[in-house]
């Protein structure tokens, strides 16, 4: 069924197509055969292979947090200052916001100035969390830009009519590449005679005392959540993905090498593929650290022992996959979101479960088919080694039992 256990209808289930495409693009079945042959010839090291999916709900489950504001200002020289409620922390939200402003008003990126988050410009901001930064703040910025564009369009139509000698319907006024023109003109006919510079339009608007700033707002529609009943529609949509991971495990030390990772992620219509790929790769590696190296230990007094870089190990360059393939699902427009795009902050972190499952698969190869594979999380070298020892001892017990039965 496409209904969650809390009663939300899933309207865009893309897991089946992602699963099929990733199995094919990663050559999963062929690699499984090669891996089995490699394991059969390698008594002291084993390789494991696993594929895992992710369905990740996007929105704050505290519904009132799903709102955002923006404040956009246009100056007489055609430059712009953009304020929004999202916090840039390296994830690329400013890059996405700049692309949205540029698309809405046709302003070159170099004419935009994205400001740090400040509640004296945009009050009552929600946290930049829940993978909703661009969804919320991008939509608010777009709303502000559309307000400004609506104010400017009649004046632009008037100015274009003065140059071309023909009336320009407001709905055909197009903002693009630092110019304003009649959208009915073919690209080769958008000469100076048939277009006006954005800066000239802004200067005329200022002279005519048109407001050149606007406040934008957005609230995610049609979401609700009853915490007491545990029912409702807490998420605006779901982000989907899947990953195939291949590892090699040393039976003497428990050391693990991440050989290859293949990811297929549903990001809708990407606003910026570079930002999306960076988020996917970074999120996956963060998840791999969570599941394999980042161990928390306390002493009997409750003091944290793994409190510094020499005791708490985050992934480093040597922990990266030797082969790292990231693909974005094509033709995956998401309805009712900014430009059909999807959030891609947190979902890829959960794809790292494929690393842990690949480790379990490798451990299983040290013993007879079947049986339980107990593996702690994080799957550190020590945890892997202990799991291998349990597996090897299980094989020895099984062998002794067979010998005893044969004698009897």
Dihedral (CA of 151, 154, 155, 156) sign:
positive
Cβ(345)–Cβ(91) below 8 Å: yes
The Cα diameter of the chain in Å comes to 107
Candidates 294, 346, 357, 382; catalytic one: 346
CA–CA distance, 59 with 239 (Å, rounded to integer): 11
CA–CA distance, 86 with 119 (Å, rounded to integer): 11
Q: Residues near 289 by Cβ (< 8 Å), separated by ≥ 6?
A: 313, 314, 315, 319, 378
CA–CA distance, 133 with 137 (Å, rounded to integer): 6
Lateral strand order in the sheet of 195-197: 173-176, 179-182, 195-197
Q: Does the annotation count 372 as an active-site position?
A: no
Catalytic residues: 346
């Amino acid at each position: 069924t496409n209904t969650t256990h809390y009663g939300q209808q899933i309207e865009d289930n893309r897991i089946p197509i992602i699963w099929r495409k990733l199995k094919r693009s990663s050559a999963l079945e062929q690699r499984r055969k090669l891996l089995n042959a490699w394991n059969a010839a390698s008594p002291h090291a084993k390789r494991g292979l696993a594929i895992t999916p992710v369905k990740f709900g996007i929105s704050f489950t505290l519904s009132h947090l799903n709102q955002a504001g923006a404040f956009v200002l246009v100056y007489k020289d055609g430059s712009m200052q953009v304020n929004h409620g999202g916090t840039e922390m390296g994830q690329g939200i400013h890059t996405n916001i700049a692309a949205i402003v540029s698309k809405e008003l046709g302003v070159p990126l170099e004419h935009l100035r994205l400001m740090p988050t400040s509640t004296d410009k945009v009050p009552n901001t929600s946290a930049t969390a829940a993978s909703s930064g661009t969804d919320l703040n991008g939509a608010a910025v777009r709303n502000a830009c559309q307000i400004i564009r609506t104010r400017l369009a009649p004046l632009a139509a008037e100015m274009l009519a003065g140059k071309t000698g023909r009336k320009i319907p407001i709905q055909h006024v197009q903002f693009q590449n630092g110019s304003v023109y009649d959208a009915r003109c073919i690209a080769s006919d958008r000469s100076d005679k048939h277009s006006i510079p954005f800066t000239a339009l802004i200067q005329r608007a200022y002279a005519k005392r048109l407001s050149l700033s606007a406040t934008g707002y957005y609230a995610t529609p049609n979401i609700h959540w009853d915490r007491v009943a545990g029912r409702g529609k807490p998420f605006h949509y779901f982000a989907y993905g899947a990953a195939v991971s291949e590892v090699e495990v040393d039976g003497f030390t428990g050391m693990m090498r991440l050989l290859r990772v293949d990811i297929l992620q549903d990001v809708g219509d990407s606003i910026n593929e570079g930002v999306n790929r960076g988020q996917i790769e970074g999120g996956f590696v963060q998840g791999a650290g969570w599941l394999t190296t980042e161990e928390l230990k306390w002493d009997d007094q409750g003091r944290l022992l793994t409190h510094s870089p020499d005791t708490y190990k985050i992934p480093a360059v040597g922990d990266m996959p030797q082969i790292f393939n990231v693909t974005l699902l094509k033709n995956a427009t998401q309805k009712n979101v900014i430009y059909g795009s999807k959030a891609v902050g947190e979902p890829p972190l959960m794809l790292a479960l494929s690393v842990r499952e690949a480790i379990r698969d490798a451990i299983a190869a040290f013993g007879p088919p079947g049986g339980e594979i107990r593996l702690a999380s994080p799957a550190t070298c020590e945890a892997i080694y202990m799991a291998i020892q349990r597996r090897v001892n299980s094989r020895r017990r099984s062998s002794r039992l067979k010998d005893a039965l044969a004698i009897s």
